[in-house]
Amino acid sequence: MSDSGPRRQQQVAALRHGTVVDHLSPGMALKALELIGVPQEGAALIGVNLYSEKMNRKDILKLENLELTDDQIERLAVLGPNASVCFIREYEVVRKVRVTLPDRIAGVLRCPNPNCITNHDRLETRFDVEKKSPTTVRCHYCERLIAESEFTLL
Amino acid sequence: MSEPWTQIELDLAEQMRGSDIISVRQFESQELRTLLSIVARFEGDSQPLLHGRVLAALFFEPSTRTRLSFESAMARLGGSVIGFADAGISSASKGETLQDTIRIVESYCDLFVIRHPREGAARAAAEATFRPLINGGDGSNQHPTQTLLDLYTIQRRIGRVAGLRIGFLGDLKYGRAAHSLVEATAMLGNELILISPDSLRLPHRRVGELRERGTPYEETPNLAGAIPELDVLYVTRIQRERFVDPLDYERVKNAYQVDRATVDQGREGMIVMHPLPRVNEIHPDVDSSPRAAYFEQAKNGLTVRKALLALLMGAIE
Ligand SMILES: [Zn+2]
């Protein structure tokens, strides 16, 4: 949580309890929220294109009163190879998890190729990760290379 | 067929027994070279290696030449073929999923070849069965037996598939045969000259892959300038439907028509290839030139398919 801006000002309000997903690739915060779902018992704060020393620009997502499951964290990896997840209790970080991109992504993403078999027959999508930063994946079925900017969630 | 198999050929044969042929990407360059040397063993008459075996040829879209080639290959190895020639007569037209069709037909056959209009269909089909499966073309993605027969034709004519300067002419934006051969020849270590009108250039991501691999390549609209440097000229069909303005089509069509005078600008030993059917990209006066390799491609396709059927069935002795 250190690189919060050139003047170290708070760019997105602090959380008392909940989860902070930091260092998402720019433009991915909305997709991250879509992937996790709108929290039932609290606010979701989104920061898009914030200044970051490490990444130049980043997105951030703060979820009030919500602790992400391991499964949700794993799915988030496709939205930012540098992403980290912090669990917050009483304004303190109690646990920090670096998200790691697996070599293979099952489900989560939709293949953007309209003529791909996965968009017609009921098949779970599968992608092989070809490059980690910026994330580039290849559809296991139609073999199309897909850039991060083309990612759409299932 | 007389030379005994080398250990490296036997190892590849063992590895391919019971496997699938989905994409040229599945092979390393050494494996491709070994596979081509195995294919050469299937030239000419064959033993009935697949006697009593049944190939299911499921063509969810018509492709007469590919289907006939597989049927002939299977027949020449003593096997038989069941299947359908287009989706209208399969239960796909009743809404059955591809994977269900495969699971049902698998009890009637020993291996599959499938042709399907959607990309990724062959991979999906292969995952539904333990029987070996060959991709006979999945949409605009892959047609590995076409790529292998192209490579085999180069190997037979020139004696090697590496260290060559290979020109691809025509529709490099949509042409599947060209895409796949570009990928394979880049992997094998060749220099590629990509000759096309600006509107039909090789897609960015494919050019990017060449750059990342370190493949020497050049993009040019100029056929006459490129041809004296080439070992292989691979001509593809330019389809009228790809052009918004019919005038553009006429211009391109004329600029890229390959005739005897054009190919005579090539160095000695340069060959002219085409995945066929040709329309008017290659003038018939090239047919009698010793450079014309396109009719051999069809014949080589039969040899390649015989080899693959036998390899997947583990019937090599
Ligand atoms: Zn796909």
Q: What tokens appear for A111 in the block?
A: 């293949």
B276, B317 Cβ separation under 8 angstroms: no
Structure tokens at A1: 């949580």
pLDDT above 90 (res B217): yes
Sign of the CA dihedral running B46, B52, B53, B54: positive
Range B267-295 average pLDDT: 94
One-letter amino acid for residue A6 of the chain: P
Nearest to B97 among A115, A121, A143 (CB): A121
Domains within chain B, CATH numbers bracketed: 7-142+300-312 (3.40.50.1370), 144-298 (3.40.50.1370)
User: DSSP letter string over A36-84?
Assistant: H---SSS-EEEEEEEEETTTEEEEEEEEET----HHHHHHHGGG-TT-E
pLDDT grade, residue A12 (50/70/90)? Answer: low
Secondary structure letter of residue B106 according to DSSP: G
Q: Which residues make Cβ contacts (< 8 Å) with residue A5, sequence separation at least 6?
A: A11, A50, A51
ipTM of the complex: 0.90
Whether residue B205 lies within 8 A of chain A, CB to CB, comes out as yes
**Integer Cα distance of B135 and B205 in angstroms:** 23
What digits encode the pLDDT tens for the residues B180-200? Answer: 999 999 999 999 999 999 989
Question: Using an 8 Å Cβ cutoff, are B196 and B167 in contact?
Answer: no
Beta-ladder partners of A129: A137
pLDDT digits (tens, 9 = 90+) for B44-54: 999 999 999 99
- Among residues of chain B, what percentage have pLDDT more than 90? 83
Kindly tell me if the per-residue pLDDT of B146 is higher than 60: yes
The answer to whether residue B57 scores a pLDDT higher than 50 is yes
Residue B312 has pLDDT above 90, yes or no: yes
pLDDT for res A133: 75
Q: Which of residues 88-107 of B touch A (CB under 8 A)?
A: 97-99
Question: Are the C-beta atoms of A75 and A62 separated by less than 8 Å?
Answer: no
Please judge whether B99 and A142 are an interchain contact, meaning their C-beta atoms are less than 8 angstroms apart.
no
At A148 the pLDDT is: 84
Looking at the complex, report in whole angstroms how far the Cα of residue A75 sits from the nearest Cα belonging to chain B: 23
Enter the DSSP assignment of B190: -
Kindly tell me if the per-residue pLDDT of A5 is higher than 50.
Answer: no
How far is B282 from chain A, CA to nearest CA, in Å? Answer: 31
**What is the number of residues in chain A?**
154
Q: Give the pLDDT of residue B55.
A: 98
B chain contacts of residue A123, beta-carbon cutoff 8 Å: 99, 124
